[in-house]
């Protein structure tokens, strides 16, 4: 199978990226290995020589780019998001109830909740701490092993359970992390121990705060008799993040090309690091120096917003418009919406179609049924705030926002192939 080496690399990335912080840290490693240079938003960027660079914000969003000021004729930009819906641990999480130790959680974004029950769960995220010199620092932790579970209520205690039971987000979703025991370390101590185990040289004095999430530690895998399906957590939208970073790193003579990975898409993108924040605008303004240069660079730029698309579910085909049913293994999906919940226009779709034709991989189309409402992406936000021509595309996926999603291996490789072509060809083509 020609996609096997790509899928192996991709599953490595997925496995090491349980949170947006880890997804950025992994991308960062990939870029450093390819000799990209890390920039700091707090330093001056005057006269950057041609080369590969990247910068992060909140440690959970990242912009990487090839910079070639002498050939500045717009940017070829691909955007995706690093976050996924899930359960976030509350600041005072410890609960003791009915002889069980539990952790209070908040729902982040819009996950499908039922798949979170009866599944071994782990915890990962970032921790802020003071070191021995009272300097505030942060570090990533990942327990990796299962440390929690949300048990269902037995069917004998709820005979209606299979007829559609509502899940109360406050009371039904509290994970168990052990049996109450006077001598067991508290949650803060567990976090501190894990931080020291992963960062023995941190000179940790005191943990102050954290962004920690529950996740399913069972690794992504290929499945089906011929291993054509990829299943795993956070396929939406780490499939696109990986394709973008790898395409940027491997592009030939990329000129001015950029990948933007945003956090907070699943909660509406309103944050300093999100797509409605100033991250991309700030980076472009700093590179273009003056307003005139910036404005004509934006007018010549092209943005591909890549985010997973709904493949038609074989058990529920009537949930799709009969003439716009993206199929697994049918190629990258171009998403259309007359009310511009997706930013695609006939012009930007035409450009993407040519890219796919030149890459010799298929595309297909998605339009939501008129009697259902569709989601949105970072595409319209970027297009509206910066005035860049934008197309919304994505890999067809089943069970979107479940704890484990399913896509086809060939479609994953197809997105990378198109992005590689996009970054490798001259911006003059548009
Ligand atoms: Co998404």
Residues 261 and 199 in one domain: no
Mean pLDDT score, 343-350: 97
Is residue 153 left, alpha or beta, with left meaning phi > 0 and alpha meaning psi from -120 to 50?
beta
State what percent of residues in the chain have pLDDT above 70: 99
Shared domain for 73 and 99, answered yes or no, is: no
For ligand 1, the distance from its centroid to the CA atom of residue 235, given in whole angstroms, is 9
Which residues have C-beta under 5 Å from ligand 1, the single-atom ion? 236-237, 307
CA 194, CA 134: separation in Å to the nearest integer? 20
Q: How far is the CA of 417 from the centre of ligand 1 (A)?
A: 20
pLDDT at site 430 = 64
Residues 369, 345 share a domain = yes
3-state secondary structure of 328: coil
Structure tokens at 429: 């083509």
Are 290 and 311 contained in the same domain?
Answer: yes
Statement to judge: residues 154 and 199 lie in one domain: yes
End residue of a domain, out of 215, 248, 267: 215
**Cα-based angle 365, 370, 374 (whole degrees, multiple of 5):** 65
Report residue 129's pLDDT band, with 50, 70 and 90 as the boundaries.
Answer: very high
% of the chain at pLDDT higher than 90: 92
Identify whether 350 is part of a domain.
yes
Mean per-residue pLDDT, 408-424: 98
Question: How far does residue 375's CA lie from ligand 1's centre (Å)?
Answer: 9
CA of 400 to the centre of ligand 1 (A): 8
**pLDDT mean over 227-232:** 98
pLDDT of residue 428: 66
pLDDT over 80 at 34, yes or no: yes
Q: Which long-range contacts (CB under 8 A, 24 or more apart) does 167-174 make?
A: 167/113, 167/114, 169/107, 169/113, 173/87, 173/105, 173/107, 173/113, 173/116, 174/95, 174/97, 174/102, 174/103, 174/104, 174/105, 174/150
Tokens 């509350």, residue?
A: 90
Mean pLDDT of the chain: 96
User: 284 is written with which tokens?
Assistant: 């472009």
Residue 35 belongs to some domain of the structure:
yes
CATH of the domain at 42: 3.40.630.10
My answer on whether 333 and 383 are in the same domain is yes
Would you state the structure tokens that stand for residue 50, as one six-digit string?
A: 């041609």
> What's the mean pLDDT in 186-214?
96
Using the predicted structure, report yes or no on whether residue 37 has a pLDDT greater than 90. Answer: yes
For residue 234, the CA-to-ligand 1 centroid distance in Å is 9
Domain of residue 49, residue span: 3-84+233-429
Using one digit for the tens of pLDDT, what is the confidence trace for 12-29? 999 999 999 999 999 999
pTM of the model: 0.97
Number of domains within the chain: 2
Q: Are residues 355 and 418 in the same domain?
A: yes
């Amino acid at each position: 199978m020609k996609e096997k080496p790509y899928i192996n690399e991709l599953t490595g990335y997925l496995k090491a990226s349980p949170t947006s912080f880890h997804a950025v840290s992994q991308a960062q490693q990939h870029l450093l290995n390819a000799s990209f240079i890390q920039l700091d938003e707090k330093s001056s960027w005057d006269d950057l020589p041609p080369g590969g660079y990247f910068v992060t914000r909140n440690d959970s969003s990242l912009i990487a780019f090839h910079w070639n000021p002498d050939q500045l004729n717009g940017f070829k930009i691909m955007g995706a998001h690093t976050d996924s819906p899930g359960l976030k641990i509350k600041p005072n999480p410890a609960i003791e109830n009915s002889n069980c130790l539990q952790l209070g959680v908040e729902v982040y974004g819009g996950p499908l909740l039922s798949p979170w029950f009866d599944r071994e769960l782990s915890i990962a995220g970032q921790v802020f701490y003071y070191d021995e010199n009272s300097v505030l620092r942060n570090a990533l932790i990942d327990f990796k092993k299962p440390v929690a579970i949300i048990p269902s209520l037995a069917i004998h205690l709820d005979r209606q359970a299979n007829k559609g039971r509502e899940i109360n987000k406050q009371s039904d979703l509290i994970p168990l992390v052990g049996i109450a025991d006077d001598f067991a370390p508290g949650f803060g101590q567990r976090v501190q121990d894990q931080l020291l185990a992963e960062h023995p040289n941190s000179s940790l004095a005191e943990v102050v705060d954290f962004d920690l999430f529950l996740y399913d530690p069972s690794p992504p895998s290929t499945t089906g008799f011929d291993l054509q399906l990829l299943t795993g957590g956070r396929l939406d939208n780490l499939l696109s993040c990986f394709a973008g970073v790898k395409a940027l790193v491997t592009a030939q003579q990329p000129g001015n090309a950029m990948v933007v990975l945003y956090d907070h898409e699943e909660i509406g993108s309103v944050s300093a690091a999100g797509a409605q924040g100033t991250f991309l605008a700030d980076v472009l303004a700093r590179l273009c120096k003056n307003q005139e240069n910036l404005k004509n660079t934006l007018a010549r730029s092209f943005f591909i917003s890549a985010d997973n698309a709904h493949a038609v579910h074989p058990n529920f085909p009537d949930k799709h418009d009969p003439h716009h049913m993206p199929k697994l293994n049918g190629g990258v999906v171009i998403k259309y919406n007359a009310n511009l919940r997706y930013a695609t226009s006939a012009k930007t779709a035409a450009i993407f179609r040519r890219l796919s034709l030149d890459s010799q991989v298929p595309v297909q189309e998605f339009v939501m049924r008129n009697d259902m409402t569709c989601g949105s992406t970072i595409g319209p936000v970027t297009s509206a705030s910066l005035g860049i021509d934008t197309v919304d595309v994505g890999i067809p996926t089943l069970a979107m926002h479940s704890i484990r999603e399913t896509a086809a291996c060939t479609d994953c490789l197809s997105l990378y192939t198109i992005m590689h072509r996009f970054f490798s060809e001259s911006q003059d083509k548009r």
